[in-house]
Structure 1
Amino acid sequence: MTDDWRELHATAVVADTHNDLLCAVVARRPDEWGSYFRQVWLPQLRLGGVDIQVLPVFVDDVFRPEGALRQTLRMIECAPRVAAENPRDAALCVTGAEIDNALSSGRIALVLALESAPGIGEDVELFRTLQALGVRIASFAHFGRTALADGSAEDATGGRLTSKGVAALELLEELGVLVDVSHLGVAGVGHVLEIANRPVIATHSSARALRDHHRNLTDEQIKGIGATGGLVCVNFFAPFLAESNATLDVLVDHIEHVVSLIGVDSVGLGPDFIKEVYAETKPAWCEAAGARVLGSPVRYLDGLEGPAGLPLVTELMVGRGWDPDGVRAVLGGNVLRLFRASFGTEQS
């Protein structure tokens, strides 16, 4: 059994749809971006067997609002430089064909995503510019309110998408950019599912039925995302998995719950690895501030603090009797299929 799960993980396409590592990379001088990625993150990604890595562009509060667009552009500039300075190991990809080419050559396919898009403000047309710069996934809010929608920590407002948010969704679908509902408030998720005409993704969300937290999705929302042909990629962050004592088993419980609702072909992994990013970029008091927003202490799963631990998920799924094809689908096969279909084969 040990050999079986190791071989399965090694031969599967492994996709992580949310790792904030770009925040840590861009915090350094531009001439250090490539070397820092190579020395600190690349070994972890290789140990974890990561083949597709979504890179969220997340702009910290210190840059908002005036510096948000500038920081967004800095992070977008960072990603191709990381790839260019590590050409044997990584490639920034904007089409399904480019992802396939990266995988066939043994490189990690990097995909840019906007997390809450504070640099957009009300200027929805800027999504067209950012798509041209390589962005292929976008969300409308984080914990708080934006010009497009309310985040999950504002659920009490009952806020749906604003008129600008509706316009943004329509433009993103036109551009072939996946709309991400992770972090979106309950009413906002419902609004997206009402009007979306293309697959929707939750890049890093777990099941509210197992952990009643505003960052998690209800069974109804999960089913709605599956009905669009999209994916729910399960979050590994311990406070979102259990009120206390989150474990690897609890994580796989969340994965299996989502699978039970929408099928094994509609589920992926969105680990949300932030421990090292926090340690590298934020003073200690930020964890306390973050705990207030989360409503619980900041905690991490033992062994899954970073991408090197991803094979543990495969080991447990196999140990629970999962079919190998199902394991491959959840590890990354589903993400690869959705990205191929959504991003097309040629750069626009």
Structure 2
Amino acid sequence: MRQVSNRDHLRRNSLRIRTGVVVNTLAGMTLHQDAVVVDCHNDLILLVDHFDQRDQPGHFRDFWLPELRAGGVDVQILPICLEQAFQSEGGLRRTLLLVERIHRLAAEHSDDVAVCLTGAEIDAAVSAGKIALVIALEGAHGVGQDVALVRTFHRVGVRVVSMAHFGRTFLADGSGLDSTSRGRLTPQGIEALREMEALGIVFDISHLGLGGVEDVLELATRPFLATHSACLGITDIHRNLHDDHIKQIARLGGVIGVAAAIPFFIDPRHPTADRVVDHIERIVELAGIDHVGLGPDFIDDYYQQVFGGLILPPGFEATTAHAEVARPSDLPKITEALVRRGFAESDIRKILGGNVLRVLREVMTSGAWHG
């Protein structure tokens, strides 16, 4: 019998490792492309608008649509986040202009995308091979203190709403104020929450300050989303969720979308796909497999193009590594990491989109508002 040298042994082990990596990669890619993938948060409309203003209206066609297809994205929640200059004055006008741009974008690319108002419309769009677009408000600055405008936004197609960004609105405090103020929902904020639930608008708890989170957990009667957050127990930053809050969101049937593209939330030093899966695993351990999804927050291209680099909000580290999951085409890396960790195929499908789809179907039950 031929003796196996140490070099032969190392070579065989290396081959097994490489073969295992290839198998996991192929299995991950196959599963990713077959699953329904829901991205809970991509601010791409801001970059589309940026290029529109520079007479380059083909940006979505040339950049984002290929990226979404490469990432296997079937459902895209499209938030409207207002730049600071518009947050106090001009908020309503700016918001409605971007809502209109999303509708025009869908008309221009009707073979590929469709704005969806109900869960049934999402399912129909996905079945037809289109990307289902769900319009969202990030911060709801355009509402101001006029809660009646929640109905107006519902009429024009908005189906997901958060009440604050980092700062303060007439409805609530954002998480950026947690160190100086833990303001609860205002009376208008409580009224707006009730109106959203009545209309079939999905509430988004991401960016909400601690006091507001506690109010929502106490008052909510329907499932809701944290569209782009992560675990405070892994990365200690005010935008992430406490373990108890994660458990309570699950108790109400909600889902946490993990902000895979934001190094500050995942791990400033090692924001890898595997680190994203660490956050997914923690949510599963705390809340169960039915309450975690993906909300990457692909904002880096916008900041690089518009500002030449990242603009840091208060409380964020000045230096971070580059996120491994930086664009939609990187999303299969998360699936590959889930396969490596031994997640069952049925569970991976829930994480990639099934869990968020459940919430959208349950809450988004009405189309045009007829009140």
Is structure 2 residue 218 aligned with structure 1 residue 194? yes
Tell me how far apart the structure 2 counterparts of residues 189 and 249 of structure 1 sit (CA, whole Å).
Answer: 28
Corresponding residue for 2:65? 42
Query: Which ranges of structure 1 fall in alignment gaps of 5 or more residues?
Result: none
User: Which residue identity is paired with 1:210?
Assistant: I
Is structure 2 residue 129 aligned with structure 1 residue 106? yes
Tell me how far apart the structure 1 counterparts of residues 64 and 53 of structure 2 sit (CA, whole Å).
Answer: 16
User: Which residue identity is paired with 2:211?
Assistant: A
TM-score (norm 1): 0.95
Tell me how far apart the structure 2 counterparts of residues 264 and 150 of structure 1 sit (CA, whole Å).
Answer: 30
Task: Return the offset for 1:244.
Answer: 2.3
Q: 1:340 to 1:280 in 2, by over 3 A?
A: same
Is structure 2 residue 223 aligned with structure 1 residue 223? no
Q: State the SS of the aligned residue for 1:293.
A: coil
Q: State the SS of the aligned residue for 1:250.
A: helix
Corresponding residue for 1:257? 282
Mapping 1:1-348, distance limit 5 Å: 1=23, 2-29=25-52, 35-156=58-179, 157-236=181-260, 237-284=262-309, 287=310, 290-297=311-318, 299=320, 301-344=322-365, 346-348=367-369
Task: Return the offset for 1:249.
Answer: 1.6
Tell me how far apart the structure 1 counterparts of residues 301 and 119 of structure 2 sit (CA, whole Å).
Answer: 30
Tell me how far apart the structure 2 counterparts of residues 335 and 217 of structure 1 sit (CA, whole Å).
Answer: 18
Task: Return the offset for 1:347.
Answer: 3.9
Task: Return the offset for 1:66.
Answer: 1.5
Task: Return the offset for 1:243.
Answer: 4.1
CA contact (8 A) 2:272 2:325 kept: no
Tell me how far apart the structure 2 counterparts of residues 139 and 292 of structure 1 sit (CA, whole Å).
Answer: 18
CA contact (8 A) 1:242 1:250 kept: yes
Tell me how far apart the structure 2 counterparts of residues 299 and 104 of structure 1 sit (CA, whole Å).
Answer: 40
Task: Return the offset for 1:310.
Answer: 0.2
Tell me how far apart the structure 1 counterparts of residues 138 and 319 of structure 2 sit (CA, whole Å).
Answer: 20
1:27-47 Cα offsets, whole Å, 9 max, x none, are 233796862211110010011
TM-score (norm 2): 0.89
Q: 1:185 to 1:278 in 2, by over 3 A?
A: same
CA contact (8 A) 1:34 1:85 kept: no
Tell me how far apart the structure 2 counterparts of residues 342 and 222 of structure 1 sit (CA, whole Å).
Answer: 20
1:157-202 Cα offsets, whole Å, 9 max, x none, are 1211011110110111111101111000111101110011111210
CA contact (8 A) 1:33 1:81 kept: no
CA contact (8 A) 1:51 1:109 kept: yes
User: Which residue identity is paired with 2:203?
Assistant: V
Task: Return the offset for 1:63.
Answer: 1.6
Tell me how far apart the structure 2 counterparts of residues 301 and 93 of structure 1 sit (CA, whole Å).
Answer: 33
1:194-226 Cα offsets, whole Å, 9 max, x none, are 011111210000000001100000001111111
Larger mean Cα displacement after TM superposition, 7-16 or 58-67: 58-67
Tell me how far apart the structure 2 counterparts of residues 187 and 23 of structure 1 sit (CA, whole Å).
Answer: 29
Q: 1:40 to 1:298 in 2, by over 3 A?
A: farther
Tell me how far apart the structure 2 counterparts of residues 202 and 155 of structure 1 sit (CA, whole Å).
Answer: 17
Tell me how far apart the structure 1 counterparts of residues 157 and 103 of structure 2 sit (CA, whole Å).
Answer: 9
1:205-255 Cα offsets, whole Å, 9 max, x none, are 000000110000000111111111111111111111124232222111001
Task: Return the offset for 1:3.
Answer: 2.8
1:58-83 Cα offsets, whole Å, 9 max, x none, are 11011232211111001100111111
Tell me how far apart the structure 2 counterparts of residues 93 and 195 of structure 1 sit (CA, whole Å).
Answer: 27
Q: State the SS of the aligned residue for 1:27.
A: helix
1:99-152 Cα offsets, whole Å, 9 max, x none, are 111101111000001000111111111010001100001011111111111110
CA contact (8 A) 1:70 1:119 kept: yes
Structure number with larger C-alpha Rg: 2
User: Which residue identity is paired with 1:5?
Assistant: G
Tell me how far apart the structure 2 counterparts of residues 54 and 36 of structure 1 sit (CA, whole Å).
Answer: 18
RMSD across aligned C-alpha pairs, in angstroms?
Answer: 1.7
